[in-house]
């Protein structure tokens, strides 16, 4: 380049004439960068983090999904493993954008937070009983050490569940009642006259028998439980990573031999590619991964080629039979409705309802028939479904609901196991280090403490030590051993 004026070319800016000297700016930028490196070195002397912010690059267990199930697993795992087990939870709330509030669309926070023991399977009864003990003593179990912050109150409200059976369900209810009594559940069977005497506002037409929980049943705030268990996990050293799993890296490993693979054909997976909230791609290396992604389990499983029908090696063609199902909860006001002497009522039609607070406000819902399943993809509430499928049952069943007015509602997703509607736990047969905790089909929130403990036992002990959940292992999808629960809300 040739300048007409060598001393002062046209585009030249003399630093001496500027208010801030360019050299000083460069020096300050350099000092800031070095200070940041020094700070990161102090925080991470062994180089376990990567990128501009603290980000775990190596962990013992990576939990994908930070809702009630994932956070409970992380909390119990860290509690038993202590400092010898490094645990990270990866969650982005599975929302289109990172700028939404935390857990704005997580299934946990849209749950009604119900807790009852009136199941037909002993595993579900025992899990709910442990959940009741845990929730009733949440301040003890989630006590935070080293600080003055208190454990959030989960607003546990004692209140029984009243299951009402018609002619077709009465015999099953009696059979379930015997099992529940054997396992320590305190509930009573009521005839229609006994129901009428205890709950004068209830229309007993079409009810042959009812079962009322007498203790350790009720409801609580799911968001506050999630808040409590997450704070406890972080307090014990669990690392929460805000990001999305976008891939898993596979590497051939001739040293690992698994059934249905040719020698040397097995591809080990121990790295997850993560897109963080800044859009940067990073990796987390893990020894074990637990996928607790709820209604979005299939999306994560697809990254591992699970469910690939064209897979020629191994058992990758076996899917994890979980899909998102949309459910609605409606809030309504009934000035002449029942007062505080009202349990959670489950009608023979499948409609369920309870009071909300001490006023004349109530919430309700109903699982749709298979042919009525609403489309997924948004969180819009279908009020026509309330008017056509729920309201007639409410008005018929309860004296005082004739003039109810719906005020609002919300929609959420459940991780629906379309094979047998029960939890899917443990290893997928195509991998030796990929565990699942999913498919709860509406059971999840009250079972979260028990599932956290159970998955911890699988990882650290190799088997269940407290409640035997062997019938819920994922391998039953291969053997065809379905497990049916006859009492589900």
Q: What is the pLDDT of residues 198-223, one digit of tens each?
A: 999 999 999 999 999 999 999 999 99
Here the contacts of 382-385 (C-beta below 8 Å, separation 24 or greater) are 382/328, 382/411, 383/330, 383/409, 385/328
Minimum mean pLDDT among 31-45, 51-65, 332-346: which range?
31-45
Comparing 303 with 267, the larger pLDDT belongs to: 303
- pLDDT above 70 covers a percentage of the chain that reads 83
pLDDT in tens, 70-121: 999 999 999 998 778 999 999 987 444 444 456 766 788 888 999 999 999 9
Q: Helix %, strand %, coil % for the chain, to 5?
A: 30, 25, 45
pTM of the model: 0.87
> Which band of pLDDT confidence, cut at 50, 70 and 90, is reported for residue 257?
low
pLDDT of residue 145: 85
In the block, residue with structure tokens 């209604």 = 295
Residue 212 · residue 343 · CB < 8 Å: yes
String of b and e for 62-95 (b: at least 16 CB within 10 Å)? Answer: bbbbbbbbbbbbbbbbbbebeeebbbbbbbbbbe
**Helix axis angle, 68-81 relative to 222-235, nearest 10°?**
30
Q: Are 330 and 389 in contact, with CB atoms under 8 Å apart?
A: no
Q: What's the confidence (pLDDT) of residue 110?
A: 85
**DSSP bridge partners of 88:** 62, 239
Q: What is the pLDDT of residues 110-158, one digit of tens each?
A: 889 999 999 999 999 999 999 999 999 999 999 988 766 777 789 999 9
Question: Is 80 exceeded by the pLDDT of residue 255?
Answer: no
**Domain topology for 47-156+217-321+418-489:** FAD/NAD(P)-binding domain (3.50.50)
Neighbour count for residue 28 (Cβ, 10 Å): 11
Is-same-fold flag (47-156+217-321+418-489; 161-216+325-413)? no
Strands 424-427 and 434-438: antiparallel
Rounded Cα gap, residues 443 and 469, in angstroms: 14
Residues 6 or more apart in contact with residue 18 via CB below 8 angstroms: none
What distances in angstroms separate CA 260 from CA 224, 312, 353, one per listed residue?
A: 45, 9, 50
- Please give the Cα distance from 58 to 286 (Å, whole number): 6
Integer angstrom CA distances of residue 182 from 171, 175, 186, 205, 255: 17, 11, 10, 30, 49
Band of residue 22 on the pLDDT scale cut at 50, 70, 90? low
Place of tokens 């997976």: 269
Give the pLDDT of residue 150: 79
pLDDT tens column, 462-471: 999 999 999 9
Give the model's pLDDT for residue 52.
43
Beta bridge partners of 6: none
Residue ranges per domain, the chain? Answer: 47-156+217-321+418-489, 161-216+325-413
E-assigned strand segments in 292-378: 322-333, 344-346, 352-355, 361-365
**Mean pLDDT, all residues of the chain:** 87
Tell me how far the alpha carbon of residue 346 is from its chain's centroid. 24
Residue 121, CB half-sphere, CA atoms under 13 Å: how many?
22
> Would you give the end-to-end CA distance of the chain in angstroms?
80
Domain 161-216+325-413: top CATH class: alpha beta
Give φ, ψ of 481 to 5 degrees. -85, 85
Question: Quick one: DSSP state of residue 390?
Answer: I
Predicted local confidence at residue 98, as pLDDT? 45
Q: How far apart are CA 335 and CA 396, in angstroms?
A: 16
pLDDT (0 to 100) of residue 51:
42
Is the pLDDT score of 481 beyond 70? Answer: yes
The pLDDT of residue 262 is 67
Please state the φ and ψ torsions of residue 423, each to the nearest 5 degrees.
-55, 150
Tokens describing residue 396: 């018929």
């Amino acid at each position: 380049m040739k300048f007409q004026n060598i001393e002062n070319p046209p585009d030249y800016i003399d630093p001496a004439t500027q208010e801030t000297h360019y050299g000083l700016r460069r020096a300050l930028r350099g000092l800031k960068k070095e200070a940041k490196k020094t700070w990161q070195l102090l925080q991470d002397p062994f180089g376990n983090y990567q990128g501009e912010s603290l980000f775990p690059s190596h962990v013992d267990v990576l939990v994908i999904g930070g809702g009630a199930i994932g956070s409970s697993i992380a909390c119990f795992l860290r509690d038993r493993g202590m400092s010898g087990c490094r645990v990270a939870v990866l969650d982005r709330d599975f929302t289109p954008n990172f700028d939404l509030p935390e857990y704005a669309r997580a299934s946990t926070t849209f749950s009604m937070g119900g807790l009852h023991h009136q199941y037909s399977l002993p595993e579900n009864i025992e899990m709910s009983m442990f959940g009741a003990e845990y929730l009733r003593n949440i301040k003890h179990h989630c006590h935070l050490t080293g600080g003055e912050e208190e454990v959030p109150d989960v607003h546990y409200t004692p209140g029984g569940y009243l299951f009402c059976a018609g002619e077709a369900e009465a015999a099953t209810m009696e059979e379930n009642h015997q099992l529940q009594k054997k396992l320590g559940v305190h509930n009573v069977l009521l005839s229609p006259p006994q129901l009428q005497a205890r709950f004068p506002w209830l229309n007993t037409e079409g009810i042959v028998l009812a079962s009322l929980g007498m203790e350790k049943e009720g409801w609580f705030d799911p968001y506050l439980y999630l808040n409590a268990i997450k704070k406890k996990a972080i307090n014990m050293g669990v690392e929460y990573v805000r990001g999305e799993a976008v891939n898993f890296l596979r590497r051939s490993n001739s040293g690992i031999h698994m059934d249905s693979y040719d020698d040397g054909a097995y591809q080990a997976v121990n790295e997850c590619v993560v897109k963080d909230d800044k859009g940067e791609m990073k990796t987390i290396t893990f020894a074990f991964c637990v996928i607790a992604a709820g209604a979005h389990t299939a999306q994560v499983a697809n990254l591992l080629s699970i469910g690939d029908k064209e897979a020629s090696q191994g058992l990758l063609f076996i899917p994890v039979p979980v899909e998102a199902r949309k459910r609605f909860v409606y809030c309504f006001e009934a000035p002449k409705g029942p007062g505080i002497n009202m349990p959670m009522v489950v009608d023979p039609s499948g409609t369920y309802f309870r009071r909300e607070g001490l006023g004349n406000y109530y919430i309700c819902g109903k699982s749709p028939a298979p042919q009525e399943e609403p489309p997924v993809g948004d969180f819009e509430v279908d009020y026509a479904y309330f008017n056509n499928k729920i309201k007639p049952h409410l008005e018929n069943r309860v004296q005082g609901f004739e003039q109810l007015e719906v005020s609002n509602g919300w929609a959420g997703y459940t991780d629906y196991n379309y094979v047998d509607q029960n939890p899917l736990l443990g290893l997928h047969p195509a991998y030796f280090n990929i565990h699942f905790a999913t498919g709860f089909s509406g059971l999840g929130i009250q079972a979260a403490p028990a599932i956290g403990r159970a998955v911890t036992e699988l990882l650290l002990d190799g088997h269940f030590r407290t409640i035997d959940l062997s019938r819920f292992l994922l391998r039953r999808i291969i053997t065809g051993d379905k497990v049916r629960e006859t009492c589900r809300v």
